[in-house]
């Protein structure tokens, strides 16, 4: 659908991919509320977008449920209604599973999965209530489909985000709310600096701290896609209500291999028609 005059609420929108999505939406005539934990980056993003009439910023830690409700209130106070939720805030919690400690799991799942859940619980009822319909966009990752190295925690959260998006698509269609799962490949962003955001309470029992500090030295590769390019991709996906928004066809061969292996692992039995009927009932909603 058309996004012009609609209001989007973008978590993690002050940097990288979220900012690219914000730029695309502003250009398309949407109002944009950028919610992010980084206060300095929020001010910078607002200045960069140079579209005061269309842009509001609000400081938010997506793991803070009360704060999420306040941020949604602020968005509605400014623009009246929220139509588009982009659950994009995320952190790169990466490392060998043998080094992963509870603080690594809890922080990674809390932001990357919990943040998306908090967005849905907070904002979905508001979209339903105004009755004008809308769109849910979740930033999952290409790694939800082809796990990258050292990504147990990250992949767990991103695969869950993809699963949620697929699961709610049918239900929300009845409310005129579209759902898109966004699964970008490598994109130029600030994600290598995620470690700066790790709260003190998740630093005690962590096996990843040293790795996170080293990662901050890693330069952003020019081979990775620009945030503006993926922002345009997401805008197109919103307009078309695409369930899947992908960016890098270089992953297609690996995805095909993976899915062929999954399909090949069924027992070699003929299909039982009665059982198929019972399964059909489970699949409908």
Contact residues for ligand NAI, defined by CB under 6 A: 11-12, 14-18, 36-38, 41, 60-63, 88-91, 111, 115, 139, 141-142, 184, 186-187, 189-191, 194, 197
What residue is closest to ligand NAI based on CB? 90
Q: Are 83 and 9 contacting, i.e. CB atoms less than 8 angstroms apart?
A: no
Residue 206 C-beta: closest distance to ligand NAI, Å? 16
Residue 47 C-beta: closest distance to ligand NAI, Å? 15
- Residue 64 or 76 having the CB closest to ligand NAI: 64
- Residue 249 or 267 having the CB closest to ligand NAI: 249
Among residues 150, 154, 202, 244, the one annotated as catalytic is 154
- Residue 75 or 91 having the CB closest to ligand NAI: 91
- Residue 46 or 128 having the CB closest to ligand NAI: 46
Residue 254 C-beta: closest distance to ligand NAI, Å? 15
Q: Are 164 and 152 contacting, i.e. CB atoms less than 8 angstroms apart?
A: no
Nearest-5° Cα angle at 90, 80 to 85: 25
- Alpha helix ranges (H) inside the chain: 16-27, 39-49, 65-79, 102-112, 114-130, 152-173, 209-215, 227-240, 252-264, 273-283
The candidate with the shortest Cα–Cα distance to 87, out of 133, 122, 119, is 119
Q: Is 154 a catalytic residue?
A: yes
Q: What is the CA radius of gyration of the chain?
A: 19
CA pair distance 144, 166, nearest whole angstrom? 13
Which residue numbers are catalytic? 154
């Amino acid at each position: 659908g058309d996004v012009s005059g609609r209001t989007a609420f973008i978590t993690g929108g002050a940097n990288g991919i979220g900012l690219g999505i914000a730029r695309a939406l502003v250009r398309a005539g949407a109002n944009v509320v950028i919610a992010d934990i980084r206060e300095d980056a929020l001010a910078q993003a607002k200045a960069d977008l140079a579209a005061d009439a269309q842009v509001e910023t609000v400081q938010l830690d997506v793991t803070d449920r009360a704060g999420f409700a306040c941020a949604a209130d602020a968005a509605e106070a400014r623009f009246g209604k929220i139509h588009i939720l982009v659950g994009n805030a995320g952190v790169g919690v990466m490392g060998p599973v043998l080094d992963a400690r509870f603080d690594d799991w809890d922080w990674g799942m809390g932001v990357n999965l919990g943040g998306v859940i908090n967005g849905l619980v907070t904002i979905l009822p508001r979209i339903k209530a105004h009755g004008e319909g809308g769109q849910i966009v979740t930033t999952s990752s290409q790694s939800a489909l082809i796990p990258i190295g050292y990504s147990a925690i990250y992949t767990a959260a991103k695969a869950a985000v993809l699963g949620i998006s697929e699961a709610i698509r049918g239900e929300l269609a009845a409310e005129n709310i579209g759902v898109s799962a966004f699964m970008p490949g490598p994109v130029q962003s600030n994600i290598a600096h995620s470690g700066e955001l790790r709260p003190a309470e998740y630093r005690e029992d962590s096996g990843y701290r040293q790795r996170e500090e080293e990662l901050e030295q890693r330069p952003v590769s020019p081979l990775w896609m620009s945030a503006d390019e993926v922002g345009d991709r997401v805008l197109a996906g919103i307009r078309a209500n695409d369930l899947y928004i992908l960016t890098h066809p270089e992953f297609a061969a690996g995805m095909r291999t993976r899915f062929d292996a999954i399909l090949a692992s069924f027992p070699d039995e003929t299909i039982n028609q009665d059982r198929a009927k019972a399964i059909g009932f489970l699949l409908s909603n």
